């Protein structure tokens, strides 16, 4: 199963909606960078990143029910971390209500909302779309 860059929101948004993830802040004019895994022509897993110079917001990680617990999400996260690091991103931040333990296993650690980079604080997810009870996590991904 290959990971490919995605450009069509038509296949991404239904998967995010099925997985109860927010889509109202995804702009067709300047969408996040999305990657996904297709099986038999259908998108079964997706991950996205908003990039703000040296920091990124990891978002929209979703795997369709039938394909869960096979390591696809972990594979996508590791891919995105490598992509981010090779594109000048030092740290990834994320908000989650449903997968905190998943990300802690992958080396993410709780971050201070007050000390979050300004660009991350300004994202829709940070400033209201995700509930204040969401876990706010980060990981340093730069290799150098």
Ligand X SMILES: CC(C)(COP(=O)(O)OP(=O)(O)OC[C@H]1O[C@@H](n2cnc3c(N)ncnc32)[C@H](O)[C@@H]1OP(=O)(O)O)[C@@H](O)C(=O)NCCC(=O)NCCS
Site residues, ligand X (CB under 6 A): 19, 21, 61-63, 68-74, 96, 98-99, 101-102, 105
Least Cβ distance, residue 108 to ligand X (angstroms): 11
Give 28 or 101: the residue with its C-beta nearer to ligand X: 101
> Looking at beta carbons only, is 58 or 85 nearer to ligand X?
58
| Residue owning tokens 């990039």 | 51
Beta strands in the chain (DSSP E): 3-6, 33-39, 42-52, 55-63, 91-96, 109-110, 135-140
Please tell me the distance from the alpha carbon of residue 66 to that of residue 70, in angstroms, as a whole number: 10
CB-wise, 21 or 49, nearer to ligand X?
21
Q: How far is the CB of 100 from ligand X (least distance, A)?
A: 7
Whether 16 and 62 have beta carbons less than 8 Å apart is answered as: yes
């Amino acid at each position: 199963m290959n990971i490919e860059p995605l450009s069509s929101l038509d296949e991404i948004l239904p998967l995010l909606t099925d997985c109860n993830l927010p889509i109202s802040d995804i702009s067709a004019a300047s969408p996040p960078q999305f990657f996904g895994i297709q099986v038999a022509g259908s998108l079964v897993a997706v991950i996205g990143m908003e990039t703000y110079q040296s920091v990124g917001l990891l978002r929209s990680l979703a795997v369709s029910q039938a394909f869960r617990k096979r390591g696809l999400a972990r594979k996508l996260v590791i891919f995105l971390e490598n992509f981010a690091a090779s594109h000048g991103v030092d740290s990834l931040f994320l908000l989650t209500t449903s997968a905190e333990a998943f990300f802690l296993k992958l080396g993410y650690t709780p971050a201070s909302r007050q000390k979050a980079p300004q660009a991350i604080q300004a994202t829709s997810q940070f400033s209201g779309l995700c509930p204040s009870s969401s876990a706010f996590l980060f990981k340093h991904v730069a290799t150098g």
